[in-house]
Chain A
Amino acid sequence: MLASLLAKGVVDAWLVPMALPGGGVAPSLVTDAEALERAEPLAPVLPINAARAVSQLTMTAHKEKLGVVLRSCEVRAVVELVKFQQASLEGVLVVGIDCPGTYGVAEWQAVGEKERALEALLAGAATGEPEAWEGLSFRSACEMCVEPLAAGEHVDLAVGLVGVDAGQLYLRMGEDVAAALGLAAGGAPAGRKAAVDRLLAGRKAAREAALAGFRERVSSMEDLLAEFGACVRCHNCMVNCPICYCRECIFRTPTFEHESQLYYQWAERKGTVRMMHDTVLFHLTRLNHMATSCVECGVCSEACPVGIDVATVFQAVGEKVQALFDYHPGRSVGEAAPVQEFREDELTTLGERPR
């Protein structure tokens, strides 16, 4: 199908996960139709959120027509990047794929029988109750993902896997794309709705449990310090976050490197001063900057070398700050992000002297 759209000139290049030596996959730009045989659009792994690649491919002028194959969390991240003028969906053909869940990069790399593991996953998607392959577990962000389906206004061609028998695909697309592929309309597979409901019910329950777990775990200053205590300030969560887009992050500048004398002064006052200590400040600041737009892809947790579940923190906090502005990250480029706009008639008691 991808090769056909390429051959017919509907797109000039595809951004699609391609097989790598060693068994991994990476989003790659492909113009050779034959090379598409090595495409792995269904590989259950998210090494990076490909929204970053879409940003690189669409930020500045190009004459090629681009097609992109993305999971739902990647589509949402692209939508947020478009709002921040870091990507463009103008003229881009978006192929969305239902995501039954992904595994950690290293875990998937180590799986010997990848084909059987993928078949088992697709069979699970068909029933709406995908189970992790032997010895693996889904990434926690996937287990609690309540928007796994290829859907929404920015998906031009949706590839349905949930509730679709293994070996088959359920495609939804506009008439222009259908005409290019020479496809006639059909109906949704009989089991689709029930399988989707089953999948989402499981995910919602897992999500509520995880967020409740976080809220129980973190409710005081001591809890906060413990939550991020292991942070080694590698900034991997920020580097890999698809929507943390600043060219120069304040935490990569000397802004919070103080004169030597000051550290001694603080130590004198407190008895102890943790050095290289902008860890809680770093996470609090990233929450302030990005939690309103968090698309819940979970690559931050995946990138953390010490196992801090950054993604769950962002999802829990994100849920409440997004609710302040009734905002849904990644839904539509027509909706400005909360930090981009304001309303005169909102939050009117904030800033006034309480009576």
Chain B
Amino acid sequence: MIRIPLYLAVAQWALLGALGVLVIVMFRQLGRLMIKPAEPGELGPRQGSRAAALSYLHPGQEAVHQLRPGDGQPLLLAFVDPTCPSCEELVAVLDAMQAAGELAGVRALLLISDPPSYLSISETFTATRIEIGRPASRDGLDYYRASATPLLVAIDGGGVVRAAGSVIAKTEVRAFASACLLPPPDAELSVVAASGGGAGRVGPSAGHAGTDLTGGGETAG
């Protein structure tokens, strides 16, 4: 009769248990992936809708500032956090584009939810010349459905959301910047933009963002 050493028996059960846990984790993830297409996107505001106003603070300051989309200036609003590596990529891209003059005429604003002291842990956030703010209240914040970061929202001068999604690649960010420079739409055009079919310049980036929306809800920032 073969006698298995006690430690070997114990260790193999531990290994088996760990593998079992990993299998369960993967099947749960598989289940989420299979359910996702049926779920509506929950990340970012709807295209074609009118952007909500926000109040925010500059880190380390107490003065409350108001963000009022629709004041005539196109806006790139980025929901990012210094503890998020993908957010750092987005901020670096925005910073480079601003330095290269590609964001001329567009106001860029980074909104963080992490404590202001966290800015110091990220070189990218420390070095950026883009305005950084932190929401001062929840008023208007729910509209943006920033359930995950990074989230970039392109708002035109009329205050209409032209594109929204989780993007970090320069080409995508450039498409967002172009989208918010479109002239303010009249009522008919805004319907076309919301359907996603008629806005050729916005379509590709918006389509990508739409794909990304599917998993937004599961990763709370």
A binds B: no
**Footprint of B on A, CB under 8 Å?**
none
**Footprint of A on B, CB under 8 Å?**
none
